[in-house]
Amino acid sequence: MRLASVLVGFLLGLGAILLAWSRTPRGPKAAAAASRSAPQAGTQRWVAPPVGADDLTWLRRRALAIPVAGLGPEDLRDTFADAREGRRHEAIDLLAPRGTRVIAADDGIVVRLLTSSRGGRSVYQLDPSSTYCYLYAHLDRYVLRLREGLVLRKGETLGYVGSSGNASWRTPHLHFAVVKMGPEKAWGRGTALNPFALWVARSDAEPAARLPSR
């Protein structure tokens, strides 16, 4: 009887030790492994927002200004589907002499001034509904008063045509893109619409294409 009591006590003590060990944190590596294996709440795969005829209709009603001063519809060329370094262009190039004024295509707030190796000096502007983002790239320079948070009016000068970034210095131009943003409202991320179709009615102008995530 005495031996049995000792054995039962030993087993109960061992069980308590094992239970306590199982509840003890085992360091950052173990926690990280558990975190990687556990499903992350709230994470979702990003899906490009759909675009259609309603988007073009809405933007046409906004009567967007051609964003290079002095250019008319007859001066535009559809470069939306052209190849650029192994990818689709998904924008329109507006050729003009260096230093030509670049104007706001629409009313809206400047959300980002960015200089990059690809786009050079660039401006990201939202439309009044914060549904679409306008990108102006390869600028030679900004106007002095331009800053993030500034609300531009249609036709206001924001910069000047140039060839910054990966544009050839022989062909200064404005790279202009229109992107429909998703619900997260991230500038530069969404579905690109063909700006050419906003100013030139042509049946073979491609209406839209997906822009890769930023």
Query: Under 8 Å CB-to-CB from 50, ≥6 apart: which residues?
Result: 191
Give the start-to-end residue ranges of the domains of the chain.
68-210
User: What pLDDT does residue 99 have?
Assistant: 97
Question: Which residues of the chain register pLDDT less than 50?
Answer: 6, 8, 19-21, 23-41, 202-214
pLDDT for res 214: 34
Confirm if 75 and 97 have CB atoms less than 8 A apart: no
What is residue 164's predicted lDDT score, i.e. its pLDDT? 93
pTM, whole model, 2 decimals? 0.72
- C-alpha distances out from residue 163 to 37, 38, 81, 173, 207, Å: 48, 48, 21, 6, 27
Please tell me the predicted confidence (pLDDT) of residue 167: 85
Taking alpha carbons only, the member of 115, 130, 120, 114 closest to residue 98 is: 120
How high is the pLDDT of residue 5?
A: 56
Q: Which CATH number fits domain 68-210: 3.30.110.30, 3.40.50.880, 2.70.70.10, 2.60.40.3500?
A: 2.70.70.10
Q: Quick one: pLDDT at residue 156?
A: 97
Nearest to 92 by CA among 200, 213, 185, 212: 200
